[in-house]
Structure 1
Amino acid sequence: MTSSSKRIVVAINPHASFGRGREVGPAVVTTLRALGHDVTSLIEPDFLQLLEAAREAVRTKPDALVVVGGDGMVNLGVLALEGSRVPLGLVPSGTGNDMARGLGIPVGDTEAAIAHLVAALDRPPRVIDAGSIGFDLLDVPADSVEVGRGGRGRSRFACILSAGFDALVNERANRMTRPRGRSRYTIALLIELATLRPIDYTLTLDGVVHHEKALLVAVANNLSFGGGMKVAPDAQLDDGLFDVVLVRPLGRLAFLRIYPRVFAGTHVTDPRVVVHRAAAVRVEADGVVAYADGERIAPLPVDISMDAGGLRVVA
């Protein structure tokens, strides 16, 4: 090891055993070792075992935890690093890769992403926000969540928590194996569009209660989800506030007209799209499951709080 070498833990997506993504993890490990860094590679058969291994590794206080994969792996890193000052590095190789987009990390070019990581390792980490989630344990498998104070489930996220039509699309897209990439979300959206209906929500934003009928609710720390859909184009990763985006009831044709604008972020100029800003958010509705960073969290209600400056990133 040289004087500039670092001790780095690399956690590799356990499901990246096929397609282009399977070569990315080994390439990251090989490159970092060739540069003289002391690298520990974590490969486990499933998400929960990899999360526990990452937490154990973080307790040894490495110079960075690098995750290789998509936004689900970012979520693993955010969970593993709770309460730690160890920074999170990312080499995107997943389907959505929205956290990488928000951080300015190259997407779709493994060599460029690794070069970005290597260069950023020599700089002080960037400090950004994270979100904390509390929820009831009813209807949530006990072995898939952590239990916090008062016996409630708890989790964290870095990108966006979704609870509505967007979550239904996410749930369907995650069950699909083809096609790869952003088109999978588009197909899932079109399928769910056939049963489009508004949902009755109760939202509590920094203590103020709002009753809303809406198709979509997104609590955003990052600007995009679903592979580049800029649902919250003005969201900032380090401003201490969530952008809470609501899409009020629309017919199917109107929804189809506004949908393409999400990729440019121009949908927010439509009067039926409402954006609030808050640091504490409670979302309540019947029959809706919340997703965060593309991972299934729990049925509503959920309580979301801002952990300002709660995450350091290598970017």
Structure 2
Amino acid sequence: MPLDRPARLTLAVNPAAHAGLGDARAREAATLFRARGAAVTELRRETALELAAAVAADLSGPDAVVVVGGDGAVNLVANVLAGTGVPLGVVPAGTGNDVARLLGVPLDSVAGAVSAVLAALDGAPRLLDLGRIDWPDGQRHYVAVASAGFDARVNERANTWRWPRGQSRYTLAVLRELVSFRPIPFELTVDGVGRRQRAMLVSVANGPSLGGGMRIAPGARADDGLLDLFVVRPLSIPAFLAVFPKVFRGEHVGHPAVELSTVRSVSIGGPGVVVYADGERVTDVPVTISVVPRSLAVLAAPGGLEPTC
């Protein structure tokens, strides 16, 4: 949507993201946006929930909302923007940054992220599918991946740690969780067909990666009207450790214990199942996950939203 005036941007900032990285990157981003002629309104809140509420309070003014933070803050703001037509941009400042990866936004360069946002705004925002999680008492959209089983347990563990930071925290939590984890007897309904499935992990992916770059569904497209179901059947610890490093390169596809398929809806239940989405805890009750096509406008970099294999 080429503009004949300076772009009006709301910069939604989670200053606590990644031990203060959010605040530092927000200040740099605001300076760069203004230097490129944009009119910037900064929203700073101490929690991602407060930030999303502040964004929701005024959607009539900005041409786009740019989140400076991690996947949790991006997820909550995406839930606010879904269906409104107001585009979402990201300056990554979190631990995982899988939504930024999906959009093709540079992870370690604020200047690169700012350039990607402005270039996309000067062209045409892309329309992104969202996953939608429904359970008896609630509903929530997600951008990248929803998971239950091993990944959710790893997130439960990693989210209680302050150290180490970044991807190494998630990897260490994986190794710690392996010691006590047992496969879960999932109760699944996939596109209307019920089945019982013992598995280590069930993920429903809209984008390729979770956990800070684990490419569980490397062929996933976030604009094809489909979700990618990723199931890891029971593995011994040595077998899991052998396949785990391959996930970062997307080389696990074809492994006998790995199932990948495209779906439109999945219901997930089973004993002790906890569901996470975009790295954040959603619920511990059975859910139904479905795709909501073309429901979020996003500011993606060139090459963003493309499969990684």
TM-score range, shorter chain: over 0.9
Please give the alpha-carbon distance, in whole angstroms, between the structure 2 residues aligned to 1:166 and 1:12: 27
SS in 1 for 2:94: coil
- 2:209 is aligned to 224
Summarize deviations over 1:8-57 as a string: whole Å, max 9, x none: 11101142384544310111122222222221111112222111101112
Q: Tell me whether 1:94 sits opposite 2:94 in the alignment.
A: yes
| Cα pair 1:14 1:47 within 8 Å, conserved | no
Summarize deviations over 1:220-254 as a string: whole Å, max 9, x none: 00000111100111111111111010000001110
181-190 or 43-52, which deviates more: 43-52
- 1:209 is aligned to 194
| Cα pair 1:219 1:243 within 8 Å, conserved | yes
- 2:160 is aligned to 175
> Which stretches in structure 1 are left out of the alignment for 5+ residues?
137-151
Q: Tell me whether 1:15 sits opposite 2:16 in the alignment.
A: yes
Q: Tell me whether 1:262 sits opposite 2:263 in the alignment.
A: no
Shift of 1:197: 0.8
One-letter amino acid matched to 2:262: R
- 1:79 is aligned to 79
- 1:47 is aligned to 48
Please give the alpha-carbon distance, in whole angstroms, between the structure 1 residues aligned to 2:135 and 2:15: 27
State how 1:233-272 maps to structure 2 within 5 Å. 233-272=218-257
Please give the alpha-carbon distance, in whole angstroms, between the structure 2 residues aligned to 1:18 and 1:213: 38
State how 1:50-69 maps to structure 2 within 5 Å. 50-58=51-59, 60-69=60-69
SS in 2 for 1:163: strand
One-letter amino acid matched to 1:41: E
Summarize deviations over 1:178-221 as a string: whole Å, max 9, x none: 11111000000011010121100111111111210000110000
One-letter amino acid matched to 1:95: T
Q: Tell me whether 1:275 sits opposite 2:260 in the alignment.
A: yes
Please give the alpha-carbon distance, in whole angstroms, between the structure 1 residues aligned to 2:76 and 2:31: 22
After superposing on structure 2, the runs of 4+ consecutive aligned residues of structure 1 that deviate more than 4 Å are: none
Please give the alpha-carbon distance, in whole angstroms, between the structure 2 residues aligned to 1:280 and 1:270: 24
- 2:306 is aligned to none
SS in 1 for 2:159: helix
Evaluate the alpha carbon distance shift between residue 199 and residue 233 of structure 1 in structure 2; reply closer, same or farther with a 3 A threshold.
Answer: same
246-255 or 111-120, which deviates more: 111-120
| Cα pair 1:132 1:155 within 8 Å, conserved | yes
- 1:310 is aligned to 295
Summarize deviations over 1:76-112 as a string: whole Å, max 9, x none: 2211102200010011111111111122111122221
- 1:147 is aligned to none
Evaluate the alpha carbon distance shift between residue 248 and residue 11 of structure 1 in structure 2; reply closer, same or farther with a 3 A threshold.
Answer: same
Please give the alpha-carbon distance, in whole angstroms, between the structure 2 residues aligned to 1:270 and 1:240: 26
- 1:131 is aligned to 131
Please give the alpha-carbon distance, in whole angstroms, between the structure 2 residues aligned to 1:6 and 1:118: 9
Q: Tell me whether 1:192 sits opposite 2:192 in the alignment.
A: no
> CA RMSD, aligned part only?
1.4
One-letter amino acid matched to 1:248: R
TM-score (norm 2): 0.93
Q: How many residues align?
A: 298
| Cα pair 2:18 2:95 within 8 Å, conserved | no
Please give the alpha-carbon distance, in whole angstroms, between the structure 2 residues aligned to 1:214 and 1:300: 18
| Sequence identity (%) | 47
One-letter amino acid matched to 1:289: V
One-letter amino acid matched to 2:256: P
Q: Tell me whether 1:25 sits opposite 2:10 in the alignment.
A: no
> Which stretches in structure 2 are left out of the alignment for 5+ residues?
301-309
| Cα pair 2:265 2:290 within 8 Å, conserved | yes
Shift of 1:117: 1.6
TM-score (norm 1): 0.91
SS in 2 for 1:105: coil
| Cα pair 2:87 2:296 within 8 Å, conserved | yes
Summarize deviations over 1:93-140 as a string: whole Å, max 9, x none: 11111111122111122221122222222110011100111113xxxx
Evaluate the alpha carbon distance shift between residue 217 and residue 96 of structure 1 in structure 2; reply closer, same or farther with a 3 A threshold.
Answer: same
Please give the alpha-carbon distance, in whole angstroms, between the structure 1 residues aligned to 2:15 and 2:58: 17
